[in-house]
Amino acid sequence: MGYNYYGVGGLTSLLTVVGLYMLFTGSGEAFNVGAFLESVSPYAWASTGIALCIGLSVVGAAWGIFITGSSILGAGVKAPRIRTKNLISIIFCEVVAIYGVIMAIVFSAKVGHTTGDNLYDGNSYYTGFALFWAGLTVGGCNLVCGIAVGMNGSGAALADAADPSLYVSVTPMQLDPIIWLILFSRFVKILVIEIFSSVLGLFGLIIGLLMQGKALEFGTVQ
């Protein structure tokens, strides 16, 4: 923790010294955030957005599988009956990674080749910024969603190991769809909170889709 303070303090004082030096030597207008944003290539924004989208999503999914998997293994020592129902949480985490992959593919469809003035017109800026922030939105949502799903899955694994009757346990009466539905809802009951946390990732995905929907492909001439 202390190193963080040193780092932040050092960076702040360095920036202050450099800024004051430039201000007092007549080049203060070089501190122009707008000029910086405009001079960065829209390709850089778009590519960074795509990278953040897939990267953060995979980090979230991996984190979730890491928590869930270690819990399943740890609980499996005491209750070694790993069935498909114990692995549902793993698939839940995988969905989060797939969201990131889908969005990265959708975003990358917008990145076409263009040069010269076309690269720095309004369309390109809009596409670059939209993809950057949409990627950050999707990546951040999926990161947190993956962790949430993983922690819920870990809890479900431990609960199942402690008391197997938590998952569905009723007298078998098949082939009646109504009874099947009741059984299904019972089975889903233990997964409800996990479903809620996996919906969190969908929120980010929807907003990401909406944000990139209006962005035109690079090089489109209107």
Partner 1 sequence: MTSRRIISSEKTILDKDDEDLQSSSGAGEQSSTAPAVPMDVIIKLLAFTLAMIVIPIGSYFVTINTIFSGNSTYAGALAAILANVVLVGYVIVAMNEDQSDQLEAEKKKKQKERQGKAE
Work out whether 184 is an interface residue with partner 1 (CB under 8 A).
yes
Identity of the residue numbered 164: P
Closer residue to partner 1 in complex, CB, 4/84: 84
Work out whether 109 is an interface residue with partner 1 (CB under 8 A).
yes
**Sole binder of partner 1 in the list 46, 53, 106, 151 (CB under 8 A):** 106
CB atoms within 10 A of CB 194: 23
In angstroms, how far is the first alpha carbon of the chain from the final one? 52
Residue 152 C-beta-side C-alpha neighbours within 13 Å = 23
**Sole binder of partner 1 in the list 4, 25, 84, 115 (CB under 8 A):** 84
The token pair that represents 199 in the structure block: 């919906």
Which residue has tokens 């962005």?
A: 215
> CA 186, CA 198: separation in Å to the nearest integer?
19
Which is nearest to 85 in space by CA: 160, 150, 192? 160
Spell out the SS3 assignment of 167-197.
CCCCCCCCCCHHHHHHHHHHHHHCCHHHHHH
**Sole binder of partner 1 in the list 4, 115, 174, 222 (CB under 8 A):** 174
**Sole binder of partner 1 in the list 2, 78, 115, 178 (CB under 8 A):** 78
Work out whether 138 is an interface residue with partner 1 (CB under 8 A).
no
Work out whether 157 is an interface residue with partner 1 (CB under 8 A).
no
Task: Say how many residues touch partner 1, by CB under 8 A.
Answer: 45
> CA 92, CA 123: separation in Å to the nearest integer?
37
* Three-state secondary-structure class, residue 79: coil
Work out whether 90 is an interface residue with partner 1 (CB under 8 A).
yes
**Sole binder of partner 1 in the list 2, 116, 172, 177 (CB under 8 A):** 172
Closer residue to partner 1 in complex, CB, 40/136: 136
Identity of the residue numbered 8: V
> CA 26, CA 200: separation in Å to the nearest integer?
50
Stretches 18-26, 44-52, 77-85, 127-135: which one binds partner 1 (CB under 8 A)? 77-85
Work out whether 101 is an interface residue with partner 1 (CB under 8 A).
yes
Stretches 12-20, 49-57, 118-126, 187-195: which one binds partner 1 (CB under 8 A)? 187-195
Contact positions vs partner 1 (CB under 8 A)? 76, 78-85, 87-88, 90-92, 94-95, 98-99, 101-103, 105-106, 109-110, 162-163, 167-169, 172, 174, 183-184, 187-188, 191, 198, 202, 205-206, 209-210, 212-213
